[in-house]
Each structure stands twice: as structure tokens, then as C-alpha cells.
Amino acid sequence: MNCFDVIGPVMVGPSSSHTAGAVRLGQIASILLAEKPLLATIGLHGSFARTGSGHGTDKAILAGLLGLSPDDERIRQSRQLAQAAGLNYTFTLVQLDRAHPNTAVIDLRGISGRTVNMRGASTGAANALAAAEMALAGIGSAIPVDEVIAAMKQVGEQMPAAHKETAEGGLAVTATGRAIAARLKKEGVL
């Protein structure tokens, strides 16, 4: 173990919530489907919608659907890997009420016709992984989820945007972050 394992997850970047956590959301959806996915419709909300392509959220969710891990260098090629695997996918932008800014809605159809609809939020890879493992193990919370979400929303609303890792704060507003955004806009990616 080194200091980077303590500070954050071992992952392909640039963002633990937009990339590594998004991989985990894809993995969870694939696990819930329990068969090879053939069709995926993925709705991105909030910060996922605004900065997702720049952070690789789209590629990360696809990577998770394909069974890749957050530290797999092939995340960047997940669109090509999905095509090779016969996974047809569509990304849409969605507006959700009372949802965390890093929320995705994933609708899957598998080879047998089985379907899964999942809504998940990523507040970082470690939180997404821990929550998923707890949910899959049947471990509940002493505090009802609605109260947890309301408390987290209240804290988020009180936190200045400049302190959040969003398009309005964090690395996105550094000189390098702004230069990358300008380049991506010029290339038509954003």
C-alpha cells in the first residue's frame, strides 16, 4: 500500500466520482442484469450530464457494463469494446428531481430479453463501491434513505460551488482545466 491508495482509489482518471464511481455504477447494473447486456440506455443527470464526457463518465459506465474495473487502461476504448461485444448503447441527458448531481439512470436489456432499470449516484468510487456491496449483501441503514438524502442535499446546498468538484469548482476551474475545456469545445466534444 502507498499513500495514493489511502488518499483515493487506484483508478484511471481523471475523477473518482465521474470516472471510477461511474465504472462501479456500470458494474452494478451489469451484476443486477446477471447476463450479457445487448442494449443500454443511459441517462446522465446534473454534473454527470454537464461534465461527463470531459471526465469520461460515458466511457466509464460502458466499461463497467463490460466488466472492466476502475483501474483498467481500456476504459478509454470502451466505446470500441462495446461495439465489438455487440452492446448497443445510447446516452441521454436527464433532469431528475431530488437527485445527486452525479446520478445515472441505466436501462439494460440482456441476451434473454431480461431487463434492469437502475438509478445510481456516485459520490466517489469508494462510496459507490461500499454502498453497492452493502445493498447487494442486504445490509440496511439505521437511518432511512430519504433522511440521508435530505441531509446530504442540505449540506450540498450550503457548500459553496467553489468547494465542490463540479464544472463550477475544483479542478475544472484551474488554468489547465479551463484550457482543456476550451480545447474540447473547439474540437466539438463539449
Q: Is 120 in contact with 48 (CB distance < 8 Å)?
A: no
The CATH code of domain 3-139 reads 3.30.1330.90
Q: Band of the pLDDT at 43, cuts 50, 70, 90?
A: very high
pLDDT score recorded for residue 169 = 66
Q: Which three three-digit cell numbers place residue 146? A: 430519504
Q: Which helix or strand (DSSP H or E) is residue 105 part of? A: strand 102-110
Residue 170 C-alpha cell reads as 475544483
Instruction: Give, as one character, the DSSP assignment of residue 38.
Output: E
pLDDT tens for each residue of 73-95: 898 899 999 999 999 999 999 99
Using the predicted structure, report yes or no on whether residue 5 has a pLDDT greater than 50. Answer: no
Mean pLDDT of 157-163: 72
All three cell numbers of 12, joined, read 484511471
| Model confidence at 126: pLDDT above 70 | no
Cell numbers describing residue 122 = 456516485
Q: Pick the most confident of 68-77, 138-147, 179-188.
A: 68-77
Put simply, whether the predicted model's pTM sits higher than 0.75 gets the answer: no
Burial 35-46 (b: 16+ CB within 10 A, else e): ebbbebebbbbb
pLDDT given at position 7: 41
Q: List, in sequence order, every residue forming a beta bridge with 103; answer none if it has no partner.
A: 45, 121
Any idea where the domains of the chain sit in the sequence? 3-139
Residue 9 has pLDDT above 50, yes or no: no
Contact assessment for residue 43 and residue 90, using Cβ atoms and an 8 Å cutoff: no
When pLDDT is cut at 50, 70 and 90, the band that residue 125 belongs to is low
pLDDT score, position 174 = 80
130 has pLDDT over 60: no
